[in-house]
């Protein structure tokens, strides 16, 4: 397993070591010792999975402290453009984002720690997205940064996304008072 720095502190791309043969493939999707060696000491307490069709955009979501969540995300089938925006007020990269394409073929994973707004755009039909969380879901603490805020300059790689009502009313970053 290789942990790849992204240019934004604490945000990591994880490239698993994949073993393939005529039967299929095998890889470790999480190894606590590898993460701890890289200084990532987290305790996952909840796993989530979603199914989305091409053109769905979910995000940019976060949970405020004390219910903030770190997430280890990956695609089981299909493909997404996964995006994390730094919303840590004192961070030198506040408002900057990293986007990574996660696909069933590349098997990449993305670690998004607390203090980031997270979202993804589905690039293929029947995409199954999986994520491990470091805290339990708490509806009262959820927040949303506007997915198409022009200040973020995110190229989502899809036109006219299908959005939830919550995602339509996210806050623009310049109007947002980050809890982090």
CA angle 116, 120, 121 (to 5 degrees): 155
What's the CA gap between 124 and 42, in Å, rounded? 31
Largest CA distance in the chain: 54
Q: Which of 94, 97, 131, 137 is catalytic?
A: 131
* 131 is a catalytic site residue: yes
Listed in sequence order, the residues at least 6 apart from 26 whose beta carbon sits closer than 8 Å to its beta carbon are: 18, 19
Strands 12-15, 19-21: pairing is unpaired
DSSP tag of 43: -
CA–chain centroid gap for 66, Å, is: 19
Q: Which of 61, 97, 111, 118 is catalytic?
A: 61
* 111 is a catalytic site residue: no
Catalytic residue numbers? 61, 131
């Amino acid at each position: 397993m290789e942990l790849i720095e992204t240019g934004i502190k604490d945000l990591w791309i994880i490239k698993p070591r994949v073993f393939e043969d005529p039967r299929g493939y095998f890889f470790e999707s999480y190894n606590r010792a590898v993460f701890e060696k890289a200084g990532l000491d987290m305790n996952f307490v909840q796993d989530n999975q979603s199914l989305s069709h091409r053109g769905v955009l979910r995000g940019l979501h976060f949970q405020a402290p004390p219910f903030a969540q770190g997430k280890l995300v990956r695609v089981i089938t299909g493909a997404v453009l996964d995006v994390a925006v730094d919303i840590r007020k004192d961070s030198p990269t506040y408002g900057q984002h990293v986007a990574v394409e996660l696909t069933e073929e590349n098997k990449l994973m993305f670690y998004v720690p607390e203090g980031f707004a997270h979202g993804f755009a589905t690039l293929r039909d029947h995409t199954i997205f999986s994520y491990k969380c470091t805290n339990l879901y708490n509806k009262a603490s959820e927040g949303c940064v506007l997915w198409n805020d022009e200040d973020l300059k995110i190229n989502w790689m899809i036109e006219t996304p299908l959005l939830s009502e919550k995602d339509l009313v996210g806050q623009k970053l310049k109007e947002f008072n980050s809890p982090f």
